[in-house]
Chains A and B, each alone.
Chain A
Amino acid sequence: MARLTLSALRKSYGAHAVVHGVDLDVADREFIVLVGPSGCGKSTILRMIAGLEEITSGTIAIDGRVVNEVDPKDRDIAMVFQDYALYPHMTVEQNMAFSLRYRGFAKAEIKRRVGEAARMLDIEALIERMPRQLSGGQRQRVAMGRAIVRDPKVFLFDEPLSNLDAKLRVAMRTEIKALRQRVPVTTVYVTHDQVEAMTLADRIVVLDKGSVQQIGTPEEVYETPASTFVAAFMGAPPMNLVAASLVGERELELPGGARLPLPARLWARLDGARASDIWFGVRPEHLVPARDAGKAEIMAKAGVVEPLGSDTMVQFDLGGATLIARMPPKSVRAPGDPLALTIDAHDVHLFDRASGKRI
Chain B
Amino acid sequence: MSLETRNPVGSAKRVGAVAAPASAPGWYQRRRTREAMLIACFLLPSLAIFLLYRILPLAWNAVLSFEFWSPLKAARFAGLDNYAEMFFEDDVFWQALTNTLIFIMASPVAILLALAVALAVNSDLKGAAIYRTIIFLSYPLMSVAVGIVWRWLYDERGGFINFVLRGTGLITDPIPFLQSFGWALPSVILADIWQVIGFYMIILLTGLQSIPQHLYEAARIDGAPASARFLRITLPMLRPSLFLCAVIGILNSFTAFDLVYVMTGGGPAHATELLVTHIYNMGFGETRFDYAAALTVVQFALLVILTFLANRAVGGNAGSVESA
Contact = CB atoms under 8 A, between A and B. Distances in A.
Interface in B222-265: 222-225, 228, 232-233, 236-237, 239
Nearest to B239: A89
Contacts of A81: 214, 217-218
B220 interface: yes
Given A88-B237, A89-B236, A132 B221 contact: no
Interface of B: 1-2, 212, 214-215, 217-225, 228, 232-233, 236-237, 239, 322-324
B223 A103 contact: yes
A139 interface: yes
B323 A88 contact: yes
Interface in A66-83: 71-73, 77-79, 81-83
A73 B324 contact: no
Given A72-B220, A132-B1, A132-B322, 13 more contacts: A52-B217, A72-B221, A73-B220, A73-B222, A73-B223, A79-B217, A81-B214, A82-B214, A83-B214, A85-B214, A85-B215, A102-B222, A102-B228
Contacts of A102: 222-225, 228
A276 interface: no
Contact of A86 (B236, B239, B324): B324
A85 B212 contact: yes
B215 A87 contact: yes
Given A88-B322, A132-B322, A79 B221 contact: yes
B1 A79 contact: no
Contacts of A133: 2
Contacts of A131: 324
A87 B324 CA distance: 7
Interface string A77-121: 111011111111100000000110011000000000000000000
A99 B228 CA distance: 11
Contacts of B225: 102
A71 B225 CA distance: 11
Contacts of B222: 73, 98-99, 102, 146
Contacts of B224: 73, 98-99, 102
29 contacts: A50-B221, A72-B220, A72-B221, A73-B221, A79-B218, A79-B221, A81-B218, A82-B214, A85-B212, A85-B215, A85-B217, A85-B218, A85-B324, A87-B215, A87-B218, A87-B232, A87-B233, A88-B323, A88-B324, A89-B236, A89-B322, A98-B222, A99-B223, A102-B223, A102-B224, A102-B225, A131-B324, A132-B322, A139-B324
A77 B218 CA distance: 11
Contacts of A88: 237, 322-324
Interface of A: 50-52, 71-73, 77-79, 81-89, 98-99, 102-103, 131-133, 139, 146
Contacts of B220: 51-52, 71-73
A103 B236 CA distance: 22
B221 A84 contact: no
Q: What is the predominant secondary structure among interface residues of chain B facing chain A? A: helix
A131 B214 CA distance: 15
Contacts of A146: 222
Most buried by A among B2, B237, B324: B324
A79 B217 CA distance: 10
A88 to B, nearest CB: 4
B132 to A, nearest CB: 24
Which 6 residue pairs are nearest across A and B when measured between Cβ atoms? Answer: A99-B222, A73-B223, A88-B322, A85-B218, A102-B223, A131-B324
Contact of B237 (A83, A89, A98): A89
Nearest to A98: B222
A89 B233 CA distance: 8
Contacts of B322: 88-89, 132
Nearest to A83: B214
A78 B220 CA distance: 11
A71 B220 CA distance: 8
Nearest to B221: A72
B140 to A, nearest CB: 33
A267 B5 CA distance: 63
A87 B220 CA distance: 13
Contacts of B215: 85, 87
Most buried by A among B214, B215, B218, B323: B218
Given A52-B217, A102-B228, A132 B323 contact: yes
A79 B219 CA distance: 10
Contacts of B214: 81-83, 85
B92 to A, nearest CB: 45
A73 B217 CA distance: 10
A50 B214 CA distance: 12
A131 B236 CA distance: 15
A108 B322 CA distance: 29
B269 to A, nearest CB: 48
A333 to B, nearest CB: 35
B237 A77 contact: no
B16 to A, nearest CB: 17
A83 B239 CA distance: 22
A132 B317 CA distance: 14
Contacts of B217: 50, 52, 72, 79, 81, 85
A83 B213 CA distance: 11
A78 B218 CA distance: 9
